[in-house]
Amino acid sequence: MSDAPDTFYVTTPIYYVNDKPHLGHVYTTMVADVVARYHRLRGDDTFFLTGVDEHSAKVVDKAAEMGLSTEDWAEQNAGAFKATFEKLEMTHDDFVRTSSDHHKAKVTEYVAALLKSGEVYEGEYAGWYDAGQEEYVPENKAKELDYKSEVNGKPLVKKTEKNYFFRLSNHVPALLEHFEANPGFVQPAARRNEIINRIKDAEDIPISRTGTSGWGIPVPGDPEQSIYVWIDALFNYLTYVDTPERRHYWQSGAVHLIAKDILWFHASVWPAMLMALAKIDGYGWVNLPKMVYTHSYWISESGEKMSKSLGNFLDPEAIDRAVDTFGLDALRYFLATRGPLGTTDSAFSADLFAETYNADLANTFGNSASRVTNMIGKYFGGVLPEVGDGGKPFAVADDALFDHLKLEGAAQLGLRVVREQVDGYIEATRPFTIAKEPERMGEVGTILYNCAEALRIASVLLWPFIPDACEAFWERIGCDYAAQMKADGGKGKLDEWLAWGQLKPGTPIEKGDALFPRYVAEKK
């Protein structure tokens, strides 16, 4: 097993509440959830944070369009995010709302300290503004883009305002040093190079806006100005663990999961603000995150924006459609193992979803579980047989796959156990043939015990990806793991549960329905 530290803090972006959650938001939180589940199981003192970003002008505009107060619209959508994450059985330890009193008080405190130290100063800003992104675009970049938004193509607008600025430029040398000394800070590596090039020319950045109709956190001492939503939002990672009980999570080095759209803020502005804060009396405990992991996008199938079985792939209803058709475990499994974790985008293809489901879940784990429990039913009256002296222990090495977000590889470890230690082993030993000779039932018993034990081990490896099916399976083979999962996420049980020989001969084994019924596409 890897020697990663025993405290683990993982975060997702906090999502804008201008609308309901869609599959893109669910994706990052799902990935964080799979990783958090693994870390708890491994025994790490784990904290997983997700939530919503409320003080955006987009929320104000959309609420007005809907004829609602900003508060009501934010409340409604924050509720929708929360409900979706609960329905999808996310195991976050807290849910950020930037409108919470604790968050607002802490952000005010940090900005006041930065103002006092001179890291934040008053000035005037004139620049090209991308209204959709609520972001100023530097002159050279604006020119490159022909003064149009990189994201929505709308014209950039020239804007002048009184602002408070953060001395980002002061931190450029320290940032570059940090990148040099910590090659794993921004991952994957290709993203790191992009950022290093951009940081070299970083200028001071405005961190306030002139009034946003009372929405947002006022600049301390200047209520005419509100703290720029991005600064307010980035601080969530710190405010939510800035309590005596939680501070050690921050200090263990946060792992921020984000997509490529928001890398700049996370890899430059954020660490620089933390460096600035750390120099101030009372904030000496503030260190930098351990890693900013930047994934790519889910995109629609080329040339086909709408697909019959999954509809518009990202819209909020797509979440329900995928769960209704394939089940929650399957959605989690597909997102986590076939998603854009690296530097290339992934097509959300209905065909690939069905193929993955059938290949990895229905035909592998699900089918093997049915086969083995069926044979135990048929040959041993549904009672786990004795293992003779042919017990077949094996070891599993995980090579720190989760630490590097190699989720497909991590899931493959579990599937490989099923394929090699169960399917391949059954093909090689043919228990159904041996069972025709009554005097050889001892051998059959040993084979089936080995298979049941291998499936149990595979299910422990697969649990972060398909928890519901694994818990149902444990119930059938008489393991009490599910109760422990409920109590504390199975904290620290990984090594014990991966060790060979936990199942007790004589335990009733239940067949049950198929864990993953084969999916047959409806005729188009």
Distant-in-sequence, close-in-space partners of 314: CB < 8 Å, separation ≥ 6? 22, 23, 24, 298, 300, 348
Residue of the chain from 134, 150, 194, 261 that contacts ligand MSP (CB under 6 A): 261
Query: Residue 102: enclosing H or E segment and its boundaries?
Result: helix 101-117
Residue of the chain from 205, 262, 401, 515 that contacts ligand MSP (CB under 6 A): 262
Residue of the chain from 71, 218, 297, 510 that contacts ligand MSP (CB under 6 A): 297
Question: Min. distance of Cβ 22 from ligand MSP in angstroms?
Answer: 7
How far is the CA of 374 from the CAs of 86, 231, 259, 453, 468, in angstroms?
34, 58, 44, 15, 21
> Strands 291-295 and 298-299: what pairing?
unpaired
Which residues, 221 to 240, sit near ligand MSP by CB under 6 A?
Answer: 233-234, 236
**Which residues sit opposite 9 in a β-bridge?**
47
Angle between helices 441-462 and 467-476 (to 10 degrees): 150
Binding mask 349-388 for ligand MSP (x = CB under 6 A): ----------------------------------------
Residue of the chain from 9, 25, 74, 353 that contacts ligand MSP (CB under 6 A): 25
Residue among 28 and 187 whose Cβ is closer to ligand MSP = 28
Reduce the DSSP state of residue 504 to 3 states and report it: coil
Reduce the DSSP state of residue 234 to 3 states and report it: helix
Looking at residue 471, its amino acid is: E
Question: Min. distance of Cβ 88 from ligand MSP in angstroms?
Answer: 15
DSSP 516: S
Residue among 294 and 358 whose Cβ is closer to ligand MSP = 294
C-beta of residue 394 within 8 angstroms of C-beta of residue 500: yes
Q: Does 259 bind ligand MSP (CB under 6 A)?
A: yes
Q: Does 422 bind ligand MSP (CB under 6 A)?
A: no
Distant-in-sequence, close-in-space partners of 100: CB < 8 Å, separation ≥ 6? none
Residue of the chain from 28, 77, 99, 252 that contacts ligand MSP (CB under 6 A): 28
Query: What's the angle, vertex CA 30, arms to CA 28 and CA 34, rounded to 5?
Result: 120
Only segment of 22-30, 34-42, 464-472, 476-484 that touches ligand MSP (CB under 6 A):
22-30
Q: Does 27 bind ligand MSP (CB under 6 A)?
A: yes
C-beta of residue 511 within 8 angstroms of C-beta of residue 382: yes
Note the Cα 10 to chain centre separation in Å.
8
Reduce the DSSP state of residue 191 to 3 states and report it: helix
Question: Min. distance of Cβ 315 from ligand MSP in angstroms?
Answer: 11
Question: Min. distance of Cβ 62 from ligand MSP in angstroms?
Answer: 12
Only segment of 11-19, 122-130, 215-223, 355-363 that touches ligand MSP (CB under 6 A):
11-19
Only segment of 65-73, 114-122, 258-266, 358-366 that touches ligand MSP (CB under 6 A):
258-266
Interface residues with ligand MSP (CB under 6 A) are 13-16, 24-25, 27-28, 53, 233-234, 236, 258-259, 261-262, 297-298, 314
